[in-house]
Amino acid sequence: MIIDRPPRDEPLPFCRPTIEDDDVAEVVACLRSGWITTGPRAARFEQMVRERVGAPHALAVTSATAGLHLLLAAMGVGPGDEVIVPALTWPSTANVVELLGARTVFADVDPATLQVDPADVARRLGPRTRAVIAVHFAGAPADLDALRAAAGPVPVIEDAAHALGTACRGREVGSDSFAAVFSFHPIKNITTGEGGMVVCRDDALAERIRLLRFHGVRRDAWKRYAHGGSPGYDVEEPGYKHNLPDLLAALGVTQLAKLDRMNAARAERAARYDALLEGFGWIRPIGRAAYPHVHAWHLYVARVDPSSGIGRDELIAALGEQKVGAGLHFPAVHLLSHYRRTYGYAPGSLPSAEAAGEQVVSLPLYPTLTPGDQLDVAAALFRAAPAAAALPQPATVP
């Protein structure tokens, strides 16, 4: 019985990358090869992402944040422009807009699925809107068709940090995108330690991202120094330094080959949480989109019923006391200090994102999480609020 499970001795981390022998071997091979910055392994990783996602261009970068920044810069977004961003996301989705001197316009989310609400995006479009950023929250897809219809001629770019392997209505995220950006931070579905990938359709946009990725210099070090190339260079315009080194891309090569297996392991664990949570009245998984989709299960996000009298922050603290890690995805971005100060947002401006920001908790989810670990999470949830909880029914747990 779950209630009889003793508290854990060992802490259960909220996230843990899956690093296997082939990952270690590829990194060691890179170290021994004599070339550790951007070169053949980054090129191979880009090719694998192009093939996997079915996008014409893939550009490896140091993070998804760097990728979003480069993408908007390459699109020419700057002062006087507006970019629509969901209010429920990691802050970098909005920070990059601010860094380019443009205005962030926040859109609210669907109260059940927490995906950006296309109708709210439509209300916030204006003559200065240069892009709409969709976030595929938790690894489920935003409603891309509705967002594209709402945005009209304005490009919908995708913060796909959670969404490698996600599909919406039969199309994999990135395959039909104007542009999408993936993350390989250690918390994400595959990792390079730190890293990201921009995929896009337009040839000229890809060329401009490539130029801005490396100082505004067209030939990177691999092209200049390898195979007897000449060391000369020119700067066409000042660029950033956002190229992914081979030492990190090495991990991407082996990790991407395992994406489907690792996402399937995540889905299995998510289904087990669904069954475990059935017995709890006060904490429930967030809603699933009605449109056909494939969920990459980056996160398992549950929501604490505000009428239960159990506070989300108290719950996270109580889980921590029982050595169970939990995550918070996300506090509403428009109420963080910079955005409040810059745009004068007050509580009540984006009610669905704000309510979610106060009620959501992410449970540990990764391929190496065991069924026993998940029973420990359920036991810790039960002990955190015994008076409010009906016991989960272990018989129904897969």
Ligand X SMILES: *Cc1c(COP(=O)(O)O)cnc(C)c1O
Dig out the tokens for 269 from the structure. 């664990």
Q: List, in order, residues 6 or more apart from 160 with CB less than 8 Å away.
A: 136, 166, 173, 174, 177, 180, 181, 182
Q: CA–CA distance from 157 to each of 60, 72, 73, 268 (Å)? A: 17, 9, 13, 30
Q: Is 183 in the site for ligand X (CB under 6 A)?
A: yes
Q: Is 352 in the site for ligand X (CB under 6 A)?
A: no
Minimum CB–partner distance for residue 258 and ligand X (Å) = 19
Sole window of 42-50, 60-68, 126-134, 359-367 interacting with ligand X (rule: CB under 6 A): 60-68
Minimum CB–partner distance for residue 61 and ligand X (Å) = 9
Number of residues that bind ligand X (CB under 6 A): 14
3 state SS for 123-173: HHCCCCEEEEEEECCECECCCHHHHHHHHCCCCEEEECCCCCCCEECCEEC
One residue of 89, 192, 243, 362 binding ligand X per CB under 6 A: 89
Distance of CA 102 to the CA centre of its chain: 23
Q: Is 105 helix (H, G, I), strand (E, B) or coil?
A: strand
Q: Is 303 in the site for ligand X (CB under 6 A)?
A: no
Which listed residue (188, 241, 258, 323) is catalytic?
188
Residue type (1 letter), 60: A
Q: Count CA within 13 A, CB hemisphere, residue 393.
A: 6
Task: State how far the Cα of 164 lies from the Cα of 172, in Å rounded to an integer.
Answer: 9
Task: State how far the Cα of 359 lies from the Cα of 249, in Å rounded to an integer.
Answer: 37
Of 263 and 381, CB closest to ligand X? 263
Q: Is 243 in the site for ligand X (CB under 6 A)?
A: no
Whether the CA torsion 301, 307, 313, 316 is positive or negative: it is negative
Whether the CA torsion 5, 7, 13, 17 is positive or negative: it is negative
Minimum CB–partner distance for residue 115 and ligand X (Å) = 12
Q: Is 161 in the site for ligand X (CB under 6 A)?
A: yes
Q: Is 159 in the site for ligand X (CB under 6 A)?
A: yes
Q: Is the peptide bond before 330 cis (omega within 30 degrees of 0)?
A: yes
Q: Is 57 in the site for ligand X (CB under 6 A)?
A: no
One residue of 27, 96, 107, 135 binding ligand X per CB under 6 A: 135
Q: Is 378 in the site for ligand X (CB under 6 A)?
A: no
Which residues 245-284 are close enough to bind ligand X by CB under 6 A? none
Q: Is 63 in the site for ligand X (CB under 6 A)?
A: yes
Q: Is 362 in the site for ligand X (CB under 6 A)?
A: no
Sole window of 28-36, 58-66, 258-266, 267-275 interacting with ligand X (rule: CB under 6 A): 58-66
Minimum CB–partner distance for residue 350 and ligand X (Å) = 16
Minimum CB–partner distance for residue 67 and ligand X (Å) = 8
Residue 258 appears among annotated catalytic residues: no
One residue of 165, 196, 252, 367 binding ligand X per CB under 6 A: 196
Map tokens 């940090």 to a residue: 161
Q: Is 163 in the site for ligand X (CB under 6 A)?
A: no
Q: Is 220 in the site for ligand X (CB under 6 A)?
A: no
Dig out the tokens for 215 from the structure. 């100082």
Of 18 and 322, CB closest to ligand X? 18
Q: Find out whether 326 and 362 touch, Cβ atoms under 8 Å.
A: yes
Of 162 and 312, CB closest to ligand X? 162
Sheet holding 57-61, edge to edge: 57-61, 196-200, 179-183, 156-159, 129-135, 82-86, 103-107
One residue of 14, 45, 90, 382 binding ligand X per CB under 6 A: 90
Q: Is 64 in the site for ligand X (CB under 6 A)?
A: yes
Q: Is 162 in the site for ligand X (CB under 6 A)?
A: yes
Of 196 and 252, CB closest to ligand X? 196
One residue of 75, 82, 93, 286 binding ligand X per CB under 6 A: 93
Binding site for ligand X (CB under 6 A): 63-65, 89-90, 92-93, 135, 159, 161-162, 183, 185, 196
Please give the positions annotated as active site: 188
